[in-house]
Amino acid sequence: MIYLDNAATSFPKPRCTVEAMARALSECGANPGRAGHRLAIEAGRIMENCREEIAQMLGERDATRVVFAGNTTDALNTAIHGVVRSGDHVVSSLIEHNSVLRPLSELSRSGVITLTLVPPDERGRILASDVERALTPRTRLVAMTHMSNVLGVEQDVAAVGRVCRRRGVLLLVDCAQTAGHLPMTPYAWGCSLLAMPGHKGLLGPHGTGALWIAPGVSVAPLRQGGTGSMSESMFQPRMMPDSLESGTQNLPGIAGLHAGMRFALAHRGEAHDMIVALCDRLRGELLNLPAIRVYTPQGASLVSFNVEGIASQEVAAALDSSDIAVRGGLHCAPGVHRFLGTLGSGAVRVSPGIMNSVSDVQALVRAVAKITG
């Protein structure tokens, strides 16, 4: 099988990820932070080493600002529900993933917040000037993606961050598609909260992610429970990261994330350049085929396209029968498809990863050529 669905989750994982998870389960599978014996201490060390590595990647000196999450959706929900209050206004965009759109839309429908969704320009970019025009005196939060999972266009979050700093508004950035591929510099961006997955560009396992919270930003816990700290109190601790990490953490997943992340970051520059080159080559080849419409620009790290007259899911199924894994449909991002005019058909998304090669792209082009007839 040629796997070209890395925007959903990276596969195959490097061997170090798998081995780290196996070691965590077989050699120190105790509950971190819940006892004083050697196995629990070693489990805690695994967690804190990974937390320190994430902090270092973000340019954060205080690793307690990093909170583990089950995935980017979990991190985004923790951030959104943890900072907005009744009567707040929130600004987001039409190109967001449902991990942002759904919690915000539910809060808006229930009357907790008011919501403004900024449309992209003709190139698929969210302009800082449009975000600023959408702000009101009651705006508390701007939530935006660093890169659309359909368009593959990097957004100028630093420009939006300058607007947010000037207006005293929190900025939440969704790095689901860029963590492990592009540098993440939340302090330079003027970012208040940053959500990321572990299972995509960082090459960790499913069910891992993290939320970074800037100093001075308070996030109310989405869950309350055991933290291994202040157990004499029936109330949730306020200190970070305990406040937002109730319950037993995914120790083997965090061990795998740490190993995968080190591998990914060691190869980040060359991997990103290679992935963009593969996508540019694929884009050019597809544009030479009849009845193909490509939606992503040159220089993107994924390619979205359609075959005229054939639903995207049908194209994806035909490619699957040729042992090529891609994704068809709406990709949990309905606003992007409204923008593209593909809400009814969806799009075929091809997302190479660090393990792919030119021969994989060539095989895909041959398979698509057969579909177009």
Count of C-beta atoms within a 10 Å radius of residue 301: 26
- The whole-number average pLDDT for the span 251-277 is 95
Q: Which of 51-60, 146-155, 221-230, 243-252 has the lowest mean pLDDT?
A: 221-230
- The whole-number average pLDDT for the span 238-257 is 91
The percentage of residues in the chain with a pLDDT greater than 90, rounded to a whole number, is 87
pLDDT band, very low/low/confident/very high, at 365 (cuts 50, 70, 90): very high
| CB 286 within 8 Å of CB 365 | yes
- Does 371 have pLDDT greater than 90? yes
pLDDT band, very low/low/confident/very high, at 363 (cuts 50, 70, 90): very high
pLDDT band, very low/low/confident/very high, at 370 (cuts 50, 70, 90): very high
pLDDT reported for residue 326 = 98
The whole-chain average pLDDT of the chain stands at 95
What tokens does 152 get? 């593959």
- The whole-number average pLDDT for the span 133-161 is 97
- The whole-number average pLDDT for the span 40-56 is 94
**pLDDT single digits (tens) 116-142:** 999 999 999 999 999 999 999 999 999
Count of C-beta atoms within a 10 Å radius of residue 284: 12
pLDDT reported for residue 345 = 92
- The dihedral built from the CA positions of residue 294, 11, 100 and 188, taken in this order, carries a sign that is negative
| CB 154 within 8 Å of CB 183 | no
- Does 253 have pLDDT greater than 80? yes
Dihedral of the alpha carbons of 89, 213, 267, 270, in degrees to the nearest 10:
30
pLDDT band, very low/low/confident/very high, at 35 (cuts 50, 70, 90): confident
Report how far residue 156's alpha carbon sits from residue 189's, in angstroms, rounded to the nearest whole number. 9
What tokens does 53 get? 């590595």
pLDDT band, very low/low/confident/very high, at 231 (cuts 50, 70, 90): confident
pLDDT reported for residue 112 = 98
- Does 298 have pLDDT greater than 80? yes
pLDDT band, very low/low/confident/very high, at 6 (cuts 50, 70, 90): very high
- The whole-number average pLDDT for the span 12-35 is 90
Choice between 257 and 43, residue whose per-residue pLDDT is larger:
257
The percentage of residues in the chain with a pLDDT greater than 70, rounded to a whole number, is 100
- The dihedral built from the CA positions of residue 334, 316, 17 and 155, taken in this order, carries a sign that is negative
Report how far residue 176's alpha carbon sits from residue 127's, in angstroms, rounded to the nearest whole number. 20
Report how far residue 368's alpha carbon sits from residue 373's, in angstroms, rounded to the nearest whole number. 9
**pLDDT single digits (tens) 167-188:** 999 999 999 999 999 999 999 9
Count of C-beta atoms within a 10 Å radius of residue 115: 17
pLDDT reported for residue 162 = 98
pLDDT band, very low/low/confident/very high, at 235 (cuts 50, 70, 90): confident
Q: Which of 82-96, 98-112, 220-234 has the lowest mean pLDDT?
A: 220-234
pLDDT band, very low/low/confident/very high, at 220 (cuts 50, 70, 90): very high
Q: Which of 4-18, 36-50, 306-320 has the lowest mean pLDDT?
A: 36-50
